[in-house]
Amino acid sequence: MKGIKKWVFGFCLVGVLASFIFLPALPVVNEELADNAVAKRERLQNELQQMRAEMRANGWDFKIGPNPAMQYSIEQLCNFKPELKPLDSCAYEPGDNAMVAATLPTSFIGTYTPIKNQASCGSCWAFSTIAGLEAAIKLRTGATYDLSEQHLVSCNPWDWGCNGGFFAFDMIVPSKGYYPGAMPETCFPYTALDSTCAYCASPTWYPVASWAYVGTSNTVPSVDAIKTAIYTYGSVSVGYYVDRYFQAYTGGVFTSCKKKVNSINHAVILCGWDDAKGAWLLKNSWGTGWGEAGFMWIKYGCNGVGYGACYCIY
């Protein structure tokens, strides 16, 4: 018994000594983390001040500020890659201006479903695709469904993922032979990672009957052609060029437009317009803490907005 007591005492003594050695290091680690957080906030505030100075010089009156999307790099958020368009796509290309309504209202809000958050995975292409299908379902049935973006990210046949992709409607057109449609979010919840393809048994499928471009796959259709598509089909999936100003946007009509856009890097949906503002209503996938509760008003034609505009039918 004495031997056991000595062993227990010795063990406890070692534990106490270890606590004196290692515990003082914990506040140091916490202080370093706090210092890093403060330094990041200061860098962001300095960057925003410089951006606001340029905005005043250019007469841009939209608002920018800290928001959750600013914690990520543009490369993490924006990985829409037009060069990955499948060559055997079943999408129809009617040609620019082929579909223009005779009369259109001066403002219109189409169909859309709640804002989602893609986080640090460059899966905007999947969110734009699913947002388009959810809107098409709501337009036809009146019901709001939450469908799985992770299914598109993890199970697509072209090796797309967080590193990028294109509109994935072909994947969920049954006649293409990949999948019978999209599946509910509850069947394959979003992980913001290139997770292994694995989903619930016997999912309910929500198929895309067909999909088409408003103009062509690599152009920006006319404003009236995009309006007509939104008016007819509820919303359109589009590509766009994102920069730091877009990322920092918190409100107003976005007018930071480059004269020439060399690349398209992000996918969203357009779900309305207002001629008095001269702007589209854009639904993003960066959560409700970005923009105007997840939405943006963006000037017609700004930074290639509307690139590859397309719609789907449920």
Which residues are designated catalytic? 124, 266, 284
CA angle, residues 95, 98, 101, in degrees to nearest 5: 150
Largest CA distance in the chain: 99
Q: Which amino acid is at 197?
A: C
How far, CA to CA in Å, does 34 sit from each of 29, 70, 165, 307?
9, 18, 37, 42
CA angle, residues 146, 126, 108, in degrees to nearest 5: 70
DSSP letter at 180 equals S
Which contiguous run of DSSP H or E holds residue 296? strand 295-299
Q: Which of 80, 90, 195 minimizes the C-alpha distance to 126?
A: 80
69 contact partners, CB below 8 Å, separation of at least 6:
77, 247, 286, 287, 289, 290
Question: What is the crossing angle of helices 223-233 and 124-141, to 10°?
Answer: 50
